[in-house]
Structure 1
Amino acid sequence: MMLNFFDQFMSPTLLGIPLITLALTLPWILFPTPTTRWLNNRMLTLQGWFINRFTQQLLLPVNLGGHKWAALLASLMIFLITLNMLGLLPYTFTPTTQLSLNMGFAVPLWLATVIIGMRNQPTHTLGHLLPEGTPAPLIPVLIIIETISLFIRPLALGVRLTANLTAGHLLIQLIATAALVLLPLMPTIAALTTTLLFLLTLLEIAVAMIQAYVFVLLLSLYLQENT
């Protein structure tokens, strides 16, 4: 009996305890902790170089007031990349395929950028709701449209990350199932399907990293508008 393809996205439980907590805790254990020595090993040096380069690139267009978010955005980027990559391993669970978790990341951070903008520069923040030079009859309609687009931003953040990872995992499972079924019937076609599966896995690794970067990049752009 074939299981539902969407069963892989259900949160696993052990003795009634959801294992998503373990999946969220595991990435922090994998990264080495910096030491108090004068010189670190190659792994720590490479890790520090990557974080510094990413933070500089991410905060380049952001004002000085938004640089306080550097540690938060860098940590979120590394956390999402690790969760996405670990989810590609066999017999693992990808927490970022859950819309509730992604919305839990997106909504508070987006709301924090809006609150910062309303507190520091309310006139400039409210000015985004009405473009300059708008004809008077279109003012109410544009305000409603811009308000809806503002409140739909966190939903777009969460849905984008969830949809991309879910679609990639489903496609990998479909092609893997096809290769397994075709193996005793048409070995040549099964070999070609396996090659396609390998290339798709490489693509999914790239997607896992790119989607984490896009998530944090969009948050930095929202921060730029409100600082």
Structure 2
Amino acid sequence: MTLSFFDQFLSPSFLGTPLIALALSLPWILFPTPSNRWLNNRLLTLQGWFVNRFTQQLLLPLNLGGHKWATILTSLMLFLITLNILGLLPYTFTPTTQLSLNLGLAVPLWLATVIIGMRNQPTAALGHLLPEGTPTLLIPVLIIIETISLFIRPLALGVRLTANLTAGHLLIGLISTAAVVLLPIMPTVALLTTTILFLLTLLEIAVAMIQAYVFVLLLSLYLQENI
């Protein structure tokens, strides 16, 4: 019986318990807890350096009001990177391939940036819906277009992350199946396919990190517009 390639994206369960809850809590267990000592081991030092550099790079274009979001944005970045990379391991489940989870992360954070903008500077927030110098005849059309683009932002965030990871997993599944099928028939072609699979796996590791960074970066840009 041949299983569908899309079965890997079904949320697994064990004894009636959804394992997505375990997959979401596991990344926090893997990270070492920082200590108050002056000298730490190499892993803690590397982790602290990465967090500091990423936070500094992320908050560079933001005003002082946006620096309050440093903790949640950095934590979200580490969370997404860990989920994406762990999902590339065999016999694992990637929660970020579920559109419901990605929208559950994108919609509240996007809505928080919009509410902050409407509360702190409503004139500037509403001013983004109409570019300066717009001809009078185009004003109603541009307001409708900008309003639609505003509400599409969380959908774009969730779909982008879901589509990239899903496409990568499907490609890896297809090429690995082709390599197994071609091995007894054409070993040379199977070896070439395995090489392509290895390169694709390296590409997927880069995509997993890049997509997590893009998700958080776009959120910071939305926050910058409303602060």
Question: Under a length normalisation based on structure 2, what TM-score does the superposition of the two structures give?
Answer: 0.99
> Following the alignment from structure 2 to structure 1, what is the Cα–Cα distance between the partners of residues 84 and 42?
24
What amino acid is the match of 2:45? T
Which residues in structure 2 correspond to 1:55-70 (within 5 Å)?
Answer: 55-70=55-70
Question: What is the distance in 1 between the residues matched to 2:40 and 2:75?
Answer: 20
Matched residues, percent identical? 86
| Residues 138-153 of structure 1: pairs in structure 2 closer than 5 A | 138-153=138-153
Q: In the aligned structure 2, how far is the partner of 1:22 from the partner of 1:112? A: 27
Query: What are structure 1's unaligned runs of at least 5 residues?
Result: none
Amino acid at match of 1:23: A
How is 1:168-187 mapped onto 2 (pairs within 5 angstroms)?
168-187=168-187
Aligned to 2:34: 34
The residue aligned with 1:164 is: 164
Where has structure 1 moved over 3 Å in runs of 4 or more?
none
Amino acid of the structure 1 residue aligned with 2:48: G
Deviation at 1:40, TM superposition (A): 1.5
Q: Could you tell me which residue of structure 1 aligns to residue 112 of structure 2? A: 112
1:33-63 C-alpha deviation (Å, 9 max, x unpaired): 0113232111111101100000000110011
State the shift of 1:170 in Å: 0.1
Q: Quote the RMSD (CA, aligned, Å).
A: 0.5
CA distance in 1, matches of 2:38, 2:145: 55
> Which residue number corresponds to residue 72 of structure 2?
72
In 1, Cα distance between equivalents of 2:19 and 2:42: 33
Amino acid at match of 2:192: L
CA distance in structure 2 between the partners assigned to 1:106 and 1:172 by the alignment: 27
1:135 aligns with 135
TM-score between the two structures when normalised by the length of structure 1: 0.99
Q: Where do 5+ consecutive residues of structure 2 fail to align?
A: none
What corresponds to 2:201 in structure 1? 201
Once the two structures are superposed, residues 121-170 of structure 1 have per-residue CA deviations (whole angstroms, 9 ceiling, x without a partner) of: 00000000001111111111110000000000000000000000000000
Aligned residue pairs total: 227
2:33 partner amino acid:
T
User: Match of 1:152, SS?
Assistant: helix
